[in-house]
A and B are shown apart, each in its own frame.
Chain A
C-alpha cells in the first residue's frame, strides 16, 4: 500500500516531516484511528468483565487466586504479536483474533487490581456492615466494591493505555488500526509522527477520561483530600502487574 505520491515535492520525497502533506492527508488516518478506538475499548470492556468476575470469585474462594494468577500471568507474558499468530490457525485473521489476544493480555492487570481493591477494604467497615444486617451480597455491592473503586479504576487506566499500545500490532492479525498506517510507510517521518502521535494521544485521552470518571465516582476521596491534605491514603495506588 503506497500512501504517498513521491512526486509531491521534495519534503515528501525526502521522507520529511511535512505539515502541508499532513494537513492534506489527515483524513486517511480517521478510519484507522476509529478502528484503534474500537479495538481498545472492546478489549478493555471484555477483559474487565472477565477479570472482574474472576476477582469476585477469588475474593470469596481464595484458593482460586493462585491458579487464576498463574494462568493470566502466562497470558500476560506471551507477546501479543506471537499470540496473534498462534491464534491464526484457530480463529483466522481478523478482529476476533486481535481481540482475543488483547483481552488475554489485560486480564491479569485488572484481576490483580480489583482483588487488591477488595482486599484493602478495612476490616472494621465490613464488620460494621455485617453487624448492621447487610447480607454478603449487599455488603459486596454497597460497600466493598465502591470502596475498591480507586484501585479498580487504576487498573482500568493501566489496561487501557497498555492496550492502545498493543493494538498498534493488531494489523498483524488483520484487524487494522493505527499500526497498519505506521507499518505502511515506516520511513516517512510525517506518517510515523501522525500515526504514532494519534496512538499516544488516544492513550492519554483514555487515561484522562477514566481518571475523570473515577473522580466523579469517588467524591469522598477528594472531600477527604480537602479535609486533610497531608494525609493522603497510602493505599490508593495501582497494583503492579508483572
Chain B
C-alpha cells in the first residue's frame, strides 16, 4: 500500500499550491516536478487533492475489513 499522494505529472503544471498548503512537508518541487516524499509524521488530510486546480493529485483510500472487529 502506498502512503503517498499520487501525482499525475501529465496534469501537473507545477504551480506549487499543494506544496505551500501541506502542513507535513510531504510535497516538494524538485526541478520543475512536484514530488511526494515520505515524512515521519504523515497525515492523509487530502487537502492537496482539493486545492490542485488541475486534478493532478489524488489521495485514494484503501478500504479494508478489520477481521478482529467483525468476527
> Does A pair with B?
no
Residues on A facing B (Cβ under 8 Å): none
Residues on B facing A (Cβ under 8 Å): none
